[in-house]
A and B are shown apart, each in its own frame.
Chain A
C-alpha cells in the first residue's frame, strides 16, 4: 500500500494513500524510525506530511531499493497498539482574544468551547509550518472554523489557536491566520535544548484549563511525560 516517488537523485518520498488517519500516522512513524536506523549516516532529513515521508539523503539513492526496504519494514509492523507513545498534558489559560467572537459565530458558550477543546485527545501527526509547530489531529468538528481572510501580523508565542479543522500552538511569535482561544506557558521549541522539542510523531496531547494566575507555575517548563498505554 505504499509507493515511492523520486524527487531528485538524493530526495525520495514514500507515499501512503491520500488520507488523514492514525493508521497511516503510526505506519509512517514506524517506517521513519526504522529507515533512520537503516541509513544512520546517509539519511540526513526525514520530513513527514499527513500521508507521505520526504527523505533527504547525502548521496543519490535507488528509489526501488528504498521502496523494497520500506515494504519490508512495514511487513514487520505490529500495529498501532504496539507503538511506544507518550501523553503530554498541556495547561491552557483560555483567555484568547478571538474566543468571544468564536463563541458568537459558533453559537457555543465559552464554557462549551473550552470543554470541547480540552476534553479530547489529539495525535501529533508531524511538525511543520514553524520550528516546533505541531500538526494535531482530532479537533471536534463543532470547533472547526475557517482561517481569517487577513492574517494577523503578530500572534504571540504560546498562543493556542484554531484554524480550519485543526488546532495548534504557536511555538514562536509569528504572523498567522488562526483564531486565538488561549495561551500556554509551556515552551514548545527551544533550540538551545537537546532535543529542542519534547513531543514525537504519534504522541498524544491533551489540553487542560488553568487560571491566568496559574500561568507562572508552568512558565518555560516542558509538560510531564506520561506513558500512554
Chain B
C-alpha cells in the first residue's frame, strides 16, 4: 500500500494563466509525416535544468510560461523550482526574492503569483515527480489540434503526485546564469535555399545586425529588420524548428517548436538547438549578428 500512500493525487489550479501558459516536455519527435508538430519546451535546456534540480526524469513535464507569468494554487504540499527567464514570485501575497533554480517547498493551498519576467522570455516551473496528464502521441506537451487544450486557461487543473516524504535536495543551488543576456552573435548554418539568395542579401546577412520582434509565440519568432524584397519561390517543403524562412517581402522568421511541418517560404538558414535555446530567451530588440558557419 506504500505506492498508494505516496501517489495520492493532488492538483494545481490555474487561477490566472498569464501569457502562453502550457504544459511541456520534450515534445513529439515521431508522427511528423502526418503533420504533427514537434511541440515541447521552447528552451529545452531550462526544462532539463528544472528536472535535474528536482531529480526528475529529464523529460518530465513542466509548466512553461511567458511574461506576465501565471497565478497558481497548489492544493497539496509539494516541492517546485523555477528555471529559465528570471522570475519574481509572490507567495501568498508576499514578494520573495528572485528564486530561479531554488528549491521551494509548498504547503497545501499555497498560492504563487509569478510577476513580469525580467530577463529572458520563457520560464519553467518544475514539480517533484512531474505533472500527471494524459500522453497524446507519446508526449504530455499541449499542442493545438493534438491535445484537447492548446494552452492552460483559468480554472484548469493539472494533477501531480502529492509528496508526503521529505525531498532530499542536494546542498548546492545551481547558480542562475541567464546566458542570453550576453549574446551578440547567433551561429547558424546555411539552409537548403541559401544558395539561391542574391549576393546583396547574403552580404546583409553577414554584416547587418538583427533583432527579434515582440510578436513571438510558440510557433515562430519574426526578425524585425527586413532584407530586400525577393522573388525566390519554392514548392511546399519540409521545415524543422530552427529554420529561418524568408518571405517575398524580406521578413525573416525563425521557426520554433509549434511550427507547422511544411512551409512554402525559402529556408535560408538553420539554427541548431543550443543556439536556439538562447535565441528564444533573448529580449525583443536585443541586437545580434548571424555567424554563418
Residue numbers of A with Cβ under 8 A of B are 5, 7-9, 11, 13, 15, 18-20, 32, 44-54, 56, 126-133, 135, 171-172, 174, 189, 191-192, 195-197, 201
Contact residues in A for B192 (Cβ distance below 8 Å): 5, 7, 13, 15, 52
The answer to whether A53 and B35 have CB atoms under 8 Å apart is: no
Interface membership of B238, Cβ < 8 A: yes
Interface membership of B242, Cβ < 8 A: yes
Contact residues in A for B34 (Cβ distance below 8 Å): 127, 131-132, 189, 195-197
Q: A52-B237, A126-B33, A172-B145 are in contact. List 5 more A-B contacts (CB 8 A).
A: A18-B235, A45-B30, A45-B31, A49-B262, A131-B34
Contact residues in B for A20 (Cβ distance below 8 Å): 235
Number of A-B contacts (CB under 8 A): 110
Question: What are 22 A-to-B residue pairs whose CB atoms are below 8 Å?
Answer: A8-B270, A9-B272, A13-B192, A18-B235, A19-B235, A45-B29, A45-B30, A46-B32, A47-B32, A47-B262, A51-B235, A54-B237, A54-B239, A56-B32, A126-B262, A128-B35, A130-B260, A131-B37, A131-B145, A172-B145, A189-B34, A195-B34
Interface membership of B146, Cβ < 8 A: yes
Interface membership of B137, Cβ < 8 A: yes
| A15 CA to B189 CA, complexed, in Å | 18
Interface membership of B131, Cβ < 8 A: no
Interface membership of B240, Cβ < 8 A: yes
CB distance from A139 to the nearest CB of B (A): 15
Interface membership of B36, Cβ < 8 A: yes
Interface membership of B261, Cβ < 8 A: yes
The answer to whether B272 and A8 have CB atoms under 8 Å apart is: yes
Mostly, the B contact residues are loop
What is the 8 Å Cβ interface bit string for chain B, positions 137-155, against chain A (1 contact, 0 not)?
A: 1000000111100000000
Residue numbers of B with Cβ under 8 A of A are 29-37, 136-137, 144-147, 189, 191-192, 234-240, 242-243, 260-262, 270, 272
Closest to A18 in B: B235
| A42 CA to B96 CA, complexed, in Å | 46
Residue of A19, A127, A172, A197 ringed by the most chain B CB atoms within 10 A: A127
| A49 CA to B189 CA, complexed, in Å | 21
The answer to whether A45 and B33 have CB atoms under 8 Å apart is: yes
Contact residues in B for A15 (Cβ distance below 8 Å): 192
Contact residues in B for A135 (Cβ distance below 8 Å): 236, 262
Closest to B31 in A: A196
Contact residues in B for A196 (Cβ distance below 8 Å): 31, 34, 36, 137
The answer to whether B32 and A45 have CB atoms under 8 Å apart is: yes
Closest to A171 in B: B145
Contact residues in A for B239 (Cβ distance below 8 Å): 54
Residue of A11, A129, A191 ringed by the most chain B CB atoms within 10 A: A191
A56/B240 contact (C-beta < 8 A), A5-B192, A13-B192, A191-B137 known: yes
Contact residues in B for A9 (Cβ distance below 8 Å): 272
A52/B238 contact (C-beta < 8 A), A44-B29, A130-B145, A191-B136 known: yes
Contact residues in B for A174 (Cβ distance below 8 Å): 144-145
